[in-house]
Amino acid sequence: MIMSNAIRREEEKCLYQVMFLKNDKHQDVCVEEVEKIDSEELEGHLQLGESVFITNRSCQKLSGGGY
């Protein structure tokens, strides 16, 4: 069965991986997976002198053929 793009988008979960490199002597890294980016949280980490890396995690693809 062929599904419309709109239905497929609703069923796919796209996540972002947000990595915070702490500004401490160990340079700890905190990794979070989120659906939406919180710009205020990012700004707070940057103001603390931390580095922030953002990447998108591959969407879960529906199995099946024909599309």
Q: Which residue has the higher pLDDT, 61 or 13?
A: 13
pLDDT given at position 27: 87
What are the phi and psi torsion angles at 30 (to 5°)?
-115, 130
Per-residue pLDDT at 62:
46
Q: What digits encode the pLDDT tens for the residues 5-49?
A: 554 554 466 789 999 999 888 889 999 999 999 999 999 999 999
- Rounded-to-integer distance, Cα 33 and Cα 57, Å: 8
Which of the two residues, 2 and 26, has the higher pLDDT score?
A: 26
